[in-house]
Amino acid sequence: MTTLKELCRAAYRKCDKHKSQGKFAVQLFEACGCTYRFDKSGDYARKICFDARAISDDIRLALPKTGVKTAAVSQFIQLSMESSRGEKQTMQDRLQEVARNLGFPSDVEVESEAFYCAYAHAIKIAVQGLNDQRDVLSLYELHVSEAVDEDDQYWTPLYEGDRVKASQPPALQNNQLDYWELLTHEWVLHNQGSLRWENRTLVCLNPNDRFLRPMDTELIEIPTVEPSKFVRISATFKARGRDGTGTSEWRMLDQRGQDCFPNQRSEFNVQAHIGNNTVLGEGQKA
């Protein structure tokens, strides 16, 4: 989960739009639909947004009963990205800068619409105090793949305290393959939770996909991984002889065959764009 402090510090800069952290914070709560009346200086709001002070019950009660509407928050973030008077930085440059501040790889070309939606989604989680551990990068992946439901904001693992992060989810992959070409994908999985991973496997759900299929194996054993540690596993895939985008779908299962992360629908997937005589460049291998 990306904290409200991290979200605000990543996007804020003193400019003609936001003359102080306090004014930025008050405007952010207003975009959330909050009717709480902050002091004129905005110092209380600033402490919540930039110093990680807890959000009081009074403030949460002043939020819309239907919850924070992310459309208004997304628009607020987008306006915050725009250049100030006299600046030469482009909108995309600013977007890339803020994304890097939130842990995005520097070589990823960020899609603006999905990024704003993911950012607003993360703010909603933080402001409402939802039991959802996804960070902006995870939410960005969902919004890129259009696999997110605004009415379903909860991310709940099978086991309380369990959490995973894949270094290269599909939104950060740029695999382009010719017909029948092979691709080796490496998963770097970070155990970000409090549980030891034991007797787990990564299993392919669609080994006979029309565009992209794993070679030799549909199940990969995951070594024991302690909390805060990483593990690397890999598999080879083969493109089929047709144009299109192939997605090999994978899930992490426990020793009973249960999905450890049932609401993370794409974290482990491998994706490739396939076409005859495709010109390959950087990003051929995930």
Residue 194 phi/psi, 5-degree rounding, is -110, 5
Domain 164-274 is found in CATH 3.90.1150.10: no
Confidence of residue 86 (pLDDT cuts 50, 70, 90): low
Task: Give the residue among 59, 22, 37, 17 at the shortest CA–CA distance from 8.
Answer: 22
The pTM (predicted TM-score) of the whole model is: 0.57
Q: Which two tokens stand for residue 13?
A: 């800069």
| The predicted structure's pLDDT at residue 285 | 40
Residue 251 has pLDDT above 90, yes or no: yes
Q: pLDDT tens, 152-168?
A: 444 578 888 888 888 87
Q: Are strands 200-204 and 250-253 parallel, antiparallel or unpaired?
A: antiparallel
Is the CB of residue 266 less than 8 Å from the CB of residue 137? no
Residue 282 has pLDDT above 50, yes or no: no
| The predicted structure's pLDDT at residue 50 | 92
Helix (H, G, I), strand (E, B) or coil at 219: strand
Query: What percent of the chain is helix, strand and coil (3-state, nearest 5)?
Result: 30, 20, 50
* Domain-wise residue ranges, the chain: 4-144, 164-274
In angstroms, the CA 135 to CA 43 distance is 26
Contacting residues for 154 by C-beta, under 8 A, at least 6 apart: 130, 131, 132, 263
Specify which residues 252 forms β-bridges with. Answer: 202
Mean pLDDT of 127-134: 81
Look-up of token digits 């996909």: 209
DSSP at 16: S
Q: pLDDT tens, 111-125?
A: 888 888 889 999 998
Helix (H, G, I), strand (E, B) or coil at 118: helix
Task: Give the residue among 137, 169, 195 at the shortest CA–CA distance from 267.
Answer: 169
- The angle subtended at Cα 268 by Cα 267 and Cα 271, nearest 5°, is 100
In angstroms, the CA 263 to CA 257 distance is 16
The residue type at 147: A
| The predicted structure's pLDDT at residue 65 | 82
* Residue 266 or residue 283, greater confidence: 266
Look-up of token digits 């819309």: 64
Of 147-156, 161-170, 205-214, 241-250, minimum mean pLDDT range = 147-156
Tell me the range of 156-160, 190-194, 234-238 where mean pLDDT is highest: 234-238
Is the CB of residue 187 less than 8 Å from the CB of residue 237? no
Residue 185 has pLDDT above 70, yes or no: yes
The helices-and-strands tally (H runs, E runs) of the chain is 8, 10
Confidence of residue 180 (pLDDT cuts 50, 70, 90): very high
| The predicted structure's pLDDT at residue 147 | 57
Strand order in the sheet with 244-248: 176-177, 270-274, 244-248
Confidence of residue 286 (pLDDT cuts 50, 70, 90): very low
